[in-house]
Structure 1
Amino acid sequence: MGSSSPSPGQIRSINTLSSSDLGIRIRTAGRVIESNKCEWRVVIASDEASIEVNCQIPMSAARLTDGLPRVGEQWMVLGDLVPVEDRVWNGKPALVRNVSIFAVLIKYVPDLNLREWDREAQEEMPTTIVRN
């Protein structure tokens, strides 16, 4: 019988994510820099790297239709890395990679030290991942 709670995911910093990680459940954190309420998507950033996050599942599960993370807030995200076409947000590219996070859980973390999170995440990164 399966568990009702999602797997904890690999702890990763945003700047280490790439298309070679597709299909991996990851846990990351960042500050919201863009928000699109119509599509339930945000862009989070940390250490000059950013990634788009699809928040539809956690938002609809909590019935938080107008509770999308706001620009400037810090959030932790658990989700699957999926391919995405390059998007433009407010006239500027949102991603430097063709990946996005399809979130299953999001958590507001106002007191998280993002610099420390990134450092710890990079230290815990699996050594089996090969980068080009």
Structure 2
Amino acid sequence: IFMPMFIQGMAGVNRRLYDGGATYLFAHDVIHWNVFMSISAWLLSIAQIPFLVNIFLSLRTGATASDNPWEATTVEWSAPNRPPHGNFLTTPKIFRGPYEYSQPGHATDFTPQTEPAGA
């Protein structure tokens, strides 16, 4: 959006136009970029409205995520949602590597590191 400012700067236009650009008649061929940049900045600002609405609606009416919403197998997802000092109440026991999916004897593909084999 603001790349034309570099073009204007190379043509000798300062950042601030104290008289609306009347001093810069020598840069008449690049001063029109101000209108383009202003309209583009306003459109970019307006385009952020759906995201802001989504944030506030999600905060007010959104579903609360579970402790492990992506069913990751790594240990950090076994910590409580409001972790205590040190992240765990007790030191977790690890029974497998972090990326060992599809364990034999399990009905699901998701098997946390902290769950013993055959559980």
TM-score by length of 1: 0.17
- Higher RCO (CA < 8 A, seq sep 6+): 1
Structure showing the higher helix proportion among its residues? 2
Structure showing the higher strand proportion among its residues? 1
Query: Rg larger in 1 or in 2?
Result: 2
TM-score by length of 2: 0.18
